[in-house]
Homo-oligomer: A and B are copies of this chain.
Amino acid sequence: MEKLKLMSLYADFRKDLSYIEKELEKSVDSSSPVIRQASLHLLRAGGKRIRPIFVILSSKFGEYSMENVAKVAVSLELIHMASLVHDDVIDDSDFRRGFETVKSRWNNRIAMYTGDYIFSRALVSIGEIEMQTVHQLLAKTMLEICKGEIIQLEYQQRTDQTFRDYLRRIKRKTALLLSSSCELGALVSNASADTVGKLKRFGYFAGMAFQIVDDILDITSTDEKLGKPAGSDLLNGHITLPTLYIKDNPEFQPFLIRSFDGTLTEEERVQMLRYIRQSGAVEKAQEVSALYLKKAISEVQSLPDGDAKKALLQIAAFIGKRKF
């Protein structure tokens, strides 16, 4: 149902998206069968292609060139994919979005190098853009994302986290790449500095909201919809926003300890999820997400009217309501 809504929202840009999809497939074509199969497997496992759509929509506020847009969009989606493959190695995940992960279908070594390969492919794609600012921005974004990944490891299983720690973590994990998607899309189409700034901030705020919703869904959704067990974040040692509100509750402590030391039974997992859902923490997290969305929307309001603006606003609305 929600998937359908997202599809119709993308409908106006279907031609652009399917061009990018073809370029993505071409870009991971390789004479090495392992590389080709692992990358295609990853590509076909899908995802919402939010980075490409942000690049497309942001480019519409300048001089739109499909060719430049595709290079940037392909690059950003590949970087996203590469970081997912590496995350699956770290989290030891066998499934993502219901699809077997590269590390599960092949092994950790193949997954690590496939990630490296896809990163390099991303650089080749962006390498065709003749704008130094684009290269610098992408390099700095990647640096911050990598920093975030290590910080995430440092914070794994740590219960002494603050809201600020959490927000900083999701900024690096999600918001930065979405912010850069908007910024780069606007930059390559030579949009004005003011427009670039607004879109950049839209991407950032929307990204923060998106990740908070993602973290909420890990608690409130079903194993089937998630394509992995609900509560996986906690099982992997990650404290997210809903859990931050209740982590010191005495009734929650045993769940937390057992999640972290890997002794939580299936029955206890279900009890834990029920406890969090009934604690009011989910609603508080939803309020924070709504706040970010409001900020995102206010950035877009003053941009010129048109299909692109309408779509950005629809996406913001979708993020607030999404169930997958």
Contact = CB atoms under 8 A, between A and B. Distances in A.
A45 interface: no
Contacts of A35: 147, 150
B110 A147 contact: no
A32 interface: yes
B128 A130 contact: no
Contacts of A119: 116, 119, 142, 146
B117 A90 contact: no
A114 interface: yes
B150 A117 contact: yes
Contacts of A108: 108
8 contacts: A32-B147, A86-B116, A116-B149, A117-B149, A119-B119, A120-B143, A123-B139, A127-B136
A154 B116 contact: no
Contacts of A123: 123, 135, 138-139, 142-143
Given A116-B146, A119-B142, 4 more contacts: A30-B147, A110-B150, A112-B112, A127-B139
A197 to B, nearest CB: 21
A25 to B, nearest CB: 17
A155 to B, nearest CB: 11
A117 B132 CA distance: 21
Interface in A9-42: 30, 32, 34-35
Contacts of A225: none
A277 to B, nearest CB: 31
A113 interface: yes
Interface string A121-158: 10110111010100110111011011101110110000
A142 B120 contact: yes
A3 interface: no
A283 to B, nearest CB: 33
A89 interface: yes
Contact of A128 (B32, B121, B126, B136): B136
Contact of A113 (B90, B114, B132): B90
A109 interface: yes
Given A124-B139, A127-B135, A117 B32 contact: no
Contact of A130 (B121, B127, B132, B146): B132
A90 B116 contact: no
Nearest to A33: B154
